[in-house]
Amino acid sequence: MHMGPRKVIWIAGATGRIGQAVERLLDHGDYVIITTDTELDVTDHEAVLQYVSINRPNIVINCAAMADEAACEAHPVEAYRVNAMGARNLAAAAWSVGASIVQLSTDDVFSGTERGSYNEFDTVLPRDNAYAKSKIAGENFVRELNPKHVIVRSNWVYGAEPGYWLADLLMAARTGTPFPVAENQLSSPTSVTTLAACIVALIESEEYGLFHAADEGVTSRLGFAREVLRLAGLSDGCLRPVNDPAEARTVNLANLMLTMTGIYTMPTWQDDLRDYLAAHDLLA
């Protein structure tokens, strides 16, 4: 039984897959959970300040982002407005009421062209695009404006929701539609469920700082696609390997801070994928 007043958690960008996964895993008996999405514009500084002054959250989780790389390149000002200014507004507003902030970030803060493994203490060198640079800007604002921060970087976060990569892959295999997939891009696929579980563990630990949260092990996008289809009992004949030298990169996020603090142990990407597909009735 919960004793004492419940903490208030505000999830901004709550209708996205990470926001939904985090809300599902939080104990609704321990927390009062409030959610917003497009009805509250995180780029509107005054609106964000007014919201926190009324609702007085203890913890703010920023799941609001402009994550489509092509859209970010086409509209870089908007990318910085959402990914940088939005993070700034949430971090500052959270601090104004004594709240902590959880900021979600990306492996794209590393180019992946110098070497493969990066921990939280390595200097960032982002991919040369508006998405990566705007996410770094968001990280920097959060660090500067709220000392009670948790920044979580992950990579290749997948879910089974329609419209995302995994669902498109399964549909292509079932229909025999050619599915191009890179074999010279390597990283650590991580399920949205595991990432959400790590975020909840970080919140409950009351630790602060920068944390990498990626599944253990590295594979190519092609290797990941083949394993998905193997586990789903589908032919991989739809896969069309792509090798664009300009797009080659390898990023292995080393979870050094999680290891040192013992807060959460990330699974191997193979075990995570099997468990995720099983939970969604997608295993053969």
Specify the amino acid at residue 21: A
Closest CA to 26 of 64, 66, 63: 63
**85 Cβ contact list (under 8 Å, min separation 6):** 43, 45, 141
Structure tokens belonging to residue 143:
């660090």
Q: How many residues would you count in the chain? A: 284
51 is known as an active-site residue: no
- The phi and psi torsions of 41 (rounded to 5 degrees) equal -80, 110
**181 Cβ contact list (under 8 Å, min separation 6):** 169, 221, 222, 225, 239, 240, 241, 242
The Cα 197–Cα 267 span in angstroms is 11
Catalytic residue selected from 118, 131, 158, 276: 131
Report DSSP letters for 211-253, one per residue: EE---BS-EEHHHHHHHHHHHHT---TTEEEE--GGG-EE-EE
CB burial of residue 278 (10 Å; 0-12, 13-18, 19+): exposed
CB 186 within 8 A of CB 250: yes
Closest CA to 101 of 54, 144, 159: 144
The Cα 133–Cα 165 span in angstroms is 23
Give me the active site residues, please: 131
